[in-house]
Amino acid sequence: MEVKTRHSHLIRQEAARLGFSFVGMARVEYMDEEARHLEEWLHRGLHGEMHYMANHFEKRVNPRKLMEGARSVVSLMYNYYTDQEQQDPEAPKLAKYAYGKDYHFVIKHKLKDLLRFISEQIGEVNGRCFVDSAPVLERDWARRAGIGWVGKNTLLIHPKAGSYFFLAELILDLELVYDDPIKDYCGTCRRCIDACPTEAISPDGYWMNGSKCISYLTIELREAIPEEFRGKMENWMFGCDICQEVCPWNRFAEQHEETAFEPHPGLLEMSRRDWEEITEETFRELFRKSAVKRTKYEGLKRNITFLQ
């Protein structure tokens, strides 16, 4: 078996053992098309107060600026979908990805295990792990690696599994067998565009006005939520799943098998009143190891109050 083929097979096999649902591989190169898209997005001010998106531009579009000698980007998808839901239909809503433990830590640990495996089985390989925590255009690399297309809602969609996935990357100085991008299957569908209550998705799709996105307003925005969004948040207090809930491709979503993503006991039983009266002590207990910690107690209280 050709060396590159054997190495690629070993990485795919171990990634599957570690719980990753899909793996794709792409050759490292300067991301010319993506650079133009990002430049226009920033120029149009669609990043809102996320000023960090304008930082490290060259690193975002050239992995060799992140790791010297980089040759391959291994893109991985980790399922977080659950059919469990909050029991009180009037309770402020939490995006599914935030039900369990913080995915950054859970997946980073698995990536480090995968990198260690590569060094043990293949030899001296330099690599870096990324989970939504560095200037990496993860959706674009996943698209290049053939594990999905970037949909009109700007999320990566897998044709057999939907979009409820965390994305992660390994950048390696190892030559591998590379995958081809797949076609865009959004077609004429515009359910995500029509369903977005704040009109964050452009009329033709594929462009997200970050400053209008409910996830941005409830997580990224540190100031007061602008009054123009009052009555339009559809009761989301942290994140938003609307454009995923309406996407036809998510009919293929399957329950995850990651125990770390199971909700904290009692989280889904919280009533509307429980949330409105939540104390800092309860917040710390519920979200001790959760991504929700990012918004802090004061931020979550701000969001809940804005919904009332």
E strand or H helix that includes residue 26: strand 22-27
Residue 148: DSSP 8-state: -
Active site residue 140: no
Catalytic choice (88, 113, 132, 179): 132
In terms of Cβ atoms closer than 10 Å to its own Cβ (0-12, 13-18, 19+), residue 92 is: buried
Paired residues of 22 in beta bridges: 77
Going by their DSSP bridges, the two strands 156-157 and 149-150 should be labelled as antiparallel
Q: Is the dihedral of CA 228, 232, 238, 241 positive or negative?
A: negative
Q: Residue 30 corresponds to which tokens in the numbers above?
A: 């300067």
220 to 5, 99, 112, 214: CA distances (angstroms): 42, 18, 28, 10
User: Which residues have a catalytic role annotated?
Assistant: 132
